A and B are shown apart, each in its own frame.
Chain A
Amino acid sequence: MNIVIYGHDYPALVTGASLASNGNAVTILPLDAPANWTWQDTARKQSGLAELLDGQQQAGRLHWADAHQLSLLAKSHIHILSFTPAQGIAADELVGKLATLFTTPTLLVTQTLHGVGRAQHYQQRLQDAGSLAVVAVWPEFMSEGAAISQFSRPDRIIIGTDNDWAISTMRDLLRPYNRVRDMLLVMSPSAAEMTKYAINMLLALRVSAMNEFANLAACMGVDIEQVRQGIGTDPRIGFNYLYPGAGFGGPNFMADLAAILSTFEQQGQQPQLLPAALRVNEHQQEILFSKLWQHYQTQLSDKTFALWGISYKPDTATIAQASSLRLIDALLAQGARLQIHDPKALSELALYYPNHPQIVSCNTPYDACVGATALLIMTEWKDYWNPDFDAIKARLLEARIFDGRNLYDPALMQDIGFYYHAVGRGI
């Protein structure tokens, strides 16, 4: 099949390269990408993506296009909108243009979402322009860092459309990913959009609920880890997304949550739960700052801290809306200095805080610890799970760790001579 994918972020590139690897002829049009963007910029953030894209380009199944080729591309059968959540306006403008260009029966797929009801709005625009194109919603459930495997082994495929031809076309397109058992779920376009948003909202509520409990546990000398184990055994709840820590973030997840809020507001509804969860999260993103502030009696201006991990989650270089930024901003505002290590995100850091006099980027986690008052951990990169604690201790001024991701066992840390401050460990 001839497929055009619009977008420049990892969902667009992973989808494009994966569909090409099944034999489809795929063109990616990175509309509205940042100035001087190259596909390598995105591929670099996602393990395995560069190789996948390279291979498909060499095989001649994956091509790149620019906006000038839009009228030519409009003849393709399947168009997948894979913009970022922040690109709602660009997506709408594109649909306006495509509506006048589609001449044959065409399937327009929205893969990333811009509010509930957007697909219906697109369908109306197409109809008003006299186009026969059909809109289907295919929400993506990829998360940054694990996107390629999540695309090829999905937990479920949701298709939102009322059109039989669109259903059979999507079923056909996604056949390679739907072989073990049929996991394709068909529903109305708006239901598909709402499903994706509801999932994200419930995840946010769950994490914030755990964080609120973790803070209570910390006050009462209870270890939240024991509580987490207990909660997870309830089959109605399960073990996923129960880890307390320094809050959630990331550009797409946060944009989706903002889209939920604005969908509620557009309907004249006042959501109660999500704003509460977001408030909890705002505090939680600064939890290490609060611990430092109290431990050092507000005297932070004369101190240097080592910080491990700044990306909003492991295996990605993205730092937009990461919890770490809230911590860094708070420490900088108090005049503290930071020695920062991250396996992938240091170049993003340099763009975000260009030549900041209070920030030093470090090539190894141990370099970051040299002469620092304490070590802070904000992203649970695999690299940090079993470090050389002797090497850390030898470099820090005091063997003290503030861990926003609960990587270590408090009892063990005590045994090896560290003061260890985690989230909700109560000890």
Chain B
Amino acid sequence: MPQTWQALYALAEQQHLSVAVERLFTGDAINHTENRAALHMLLRAQACEGVQIDGQAIYPQVQVQIERMAVLVHRIRAGQWRGFTGLAITDVVNMGVGGSDLGPQLVVNALQPSNPKIRAHYLSSMDGARTASLLDKLNPHTTLFVFASKTFTTIDTLANAQTALEWLMAFGASRALALKQHFIGVSASVPKMTAWGIVPEHQLYFWDWVGGRYSLWSTIGLTIAIALGMDDFKRLLKGANAMDVHFRTAPWQENLPVRLALSTIWNRNFLGIHGKAILPYDARLELLPSYLTQLIMESNGKSIDDAGRAVSYSTCPIVWGEVGPNAQHAFYQLLHQGTEAVACDFIAPIHRPDIEDEKDGATRAALNYQHQLALANLLAQSSVLMLGDAALDVPPTDAHKHYAGNQPSTTLLLEQLDTHSLGALIALYEHQTFVEAVIWHINPFDQWGVELGKQIALKTLTALQTGQSDGFDGATQALMLTLSGKPV
């Protein structure tokens, strides 16, 4: 084992990891296909470190946006943000896709109080089916929409926002008042926000150098701040910053992101394991697997290296996951007895101080028992994955009861789950994703693989509207015919 680690550190050395980390933190245009830096760490910096882009100091600009955000958040949480009839806002709908959706949803879902001051909801998908059912539940007089989109041209979000605007006007709001009192825009494009109708004082800004999947630390985190309060949002940033400092300064032998990444490299490139499962043993983290699915696979699902050549080795594994105890009743069968080996990340808090808030002693005891039960299951699963039959005193004789074992897993324990530790946990995965990319010589900060589908969809939409399906492949043409109601 120690030799393996030494070999992996040597690999990191050979791939110039230290240089890459410094380039990342000092704002080099490390995202070379888009000629941009990736400076999400600056969004959570606790002091000015002098980083500049195009001669402009970044830290003061970030602080200005945080302060502008704080003003809006304070007004909303104080019950003094008013809808078009003067009623205080009670519900906020976050409208965004990808990072603008998953980040806020993950954090709020994990940490919101049971009786929140302001209720948070989410709309992302373009189809409108969820939009209609959500709007049915909400009061137009007391609902505020956060329109979050880096470009402010994302078709999914534009479509949802337009529906929300129509809904407000259907209940008697004038267009001007609906826009002024019921929409906050969060974007890297001020002109686009203005053009859509967001009033200037309700526009929050972030920057080109913030990637969508790294954006929850920016003003995209507005919904988090509204739901949890500005203090908690700042603790989230502080926790992530603590991980940044650790990543940049700790020796590799103690460096969590580095070790987590190198273990992926070992499993992927040396053991040939294709899958990685994210398995939190705390249901508050139920959205973490989806969040990390995007973070890791959108970053490292690449096959062209930094020099523009096709890589000759495997890169990102297939990542998925589920709350561990639920997954035990779903895909753990495959983990233990399938033909594909899977590397697992188990995640759990050591302490559950939230249980102490429970007033009833018997309920408290029952909840503590449940926490112990979850931890016992986590340990049992990681142990059985490693040992297989050897975990038993007497190995089974029936072939169908045989466990091969010899599967790798990593267990991450948090002191407790709070805004600080969740910030650190997310930042840990961001940096491990970066380290993997450095080893694989790929750019983790672009996502050209999602563009072509969007382009073709525009062409397809025209075809669906006009009924002209010429030039499409046979399968698509047949489906278009079915959609148009004509016999195939």
Cross-chain contact B86 with A297 (CB below 8 angstroms): no
Assembled-state Cα–Cα distance A333/B80 (Å):
6
The one of A283, A298, A330, A333 in contact with B181, judged by C-beta atoms closer than 8 angstroms, is A298
Cross-chain contact A289 with B86 (CB below 8 angstroms): yes
> Does B85 count as interface, using CB distance less than 8 angstroms?
yes
> Does B78 count as interface, using CB distance less than 8 angstroms?
yes
Number of interface residues of B (CB under 8 A): 12
Cross-chain contact A294 with B80 (CB below 8 angstroms): no
Within 8 A of A (CB), among B320-378: none
Assembled-state Cα–Cα distance A290/B88 (Å):
10
Within 8 A of A (CB), among B84-103: 84-88
Cross-chain contact B177 with A290 (CB below 8 angstroms): no
**A297-B177, A298-B177, A329-B80 as given contacts; A290 in contact with B75, CB under 8 Å:** no
How far in angstroms is the closest Cβ of chain B from A189? 25
Cross-chain contact B86 with A293 (CB below 8 angstroms): yes
How far in angstroms is the closest Cβ of chain B from A303? 14
> Does A292 count as interface, using CB distance less than 8 angstroms?
yes
- In the bound complex, residues from chain B placing their C-beta under 8 Å from that of A294 are 84-86
Interface membership of chain A positions 282-305, coded 1 if the CB is closer than 8 angstroms to chain B and 0 otherwise: 010010011111100110000000
> Does B259 count as interface, using CB distance less than 8 angstroms?
no
Interface membership of chain A positions 385-414, coded 1 if the CB is closer than 8 angstroms to chain B and 0 otherwise: 000000000000000000000000000000
How far in angstroms is the closest Cβ of chain A from B405? 48
Interface membership of chain A positions 312-344, coded 1 if the CB is closer than 8 angstroms to chain B and 0 otherwise: 000000000000000001100110000000000
Interface membership of chain B positions 121-164, coded 1 if the CB is closer than 8 angstroms to chain A and 0 otherwise: 00000000000000000000000000000000000000000000
Do most interface residues of chain A lie in helix, strand or loop, or is the interface mixed?
helix
- In the bound complex, residues from chain A placing their C-beta under 8 Å from that of B75 are 333
Assembled-state Cα–Cα distance A294/B82 (Å):
11
How far in angstroms is the closest Cβ of chain A from B70? 15
Cross-chain contact B177 with A333 (CB below 8 angstroms): no
**A298-B177, A298-B180, A298-B181 as given contacts; A293 in contact with B78, CB under 8 Å:** no
Cross-chain contact B78 with A333 (CB below 8 angstroms): yes
Assembled-state Cα–Cα distance A293/B87 (Å):
9
How far in angstroms is the closest Cβ of chain A from B436? 49
Interface membership of chain B positions 175-197, coded 1 if the CB is closer than 8 angstroms to chain A and 0 otherwise: 00100110000000000000000
- In the bound complex, residues from chain A placing their C-beta under 8 Å from that of B80 are 329-330, 333-334
Assembled-state Cα–Cα distance A291/B80 (Å):
15
* A291 nearest CB neighbor, chain B only: B86
How far in angstroms is the closest Cβ of chain B from A212? 14
- In the bound complex, residues from chain B placing their C-beta under 8 Å from that of A286 are 86-88
- In the bound complex, residues from chain B placing their C-beta under 8 Å from that of A292 are 86
Assembled-state Cα–Cα distance A290/B180 (Å):
16
- In the bound complex, residues from chain B placing their C-beta under 8 Å from that of A329 are 80
- In the bound complex, residues from chain B placing their C-beta under 8 Å from that of A333 are 75, 78, 80
Assembled-state Cα–Cα distance A334/B80 (Å):
8
Assembled-state Cα–Cα distance A262/B87 (Å):
27
Within 8 A of A (CB), among B222-276: none
Cross-chain contact B82 with A298 (CB below 8 angstroms): yes
Assembled-state Cα–Cα distance A289/B82 (Å):
10
Cross-chain contact B87 with A283 (CB below 8 angstroms): yes
What are 7 inter-chain pairs, A to B, with CB distance below 8 A? A290-B87, A292-B86, A293-B86, A294-B85, A297-B177, A329-B80, A333-B80
Using CB atoms and an 8 Å cutoff, list the residues of chain B in contact with chain A.
75, 78, 80, 82, 84-88, 177, 180-181
CB-based closest 9 A-B pairs? A293-B86, A290-B86, A333-B80, A289-B86, A290-B85, A293-B82, A294-B85, A294-B86, A330-B80
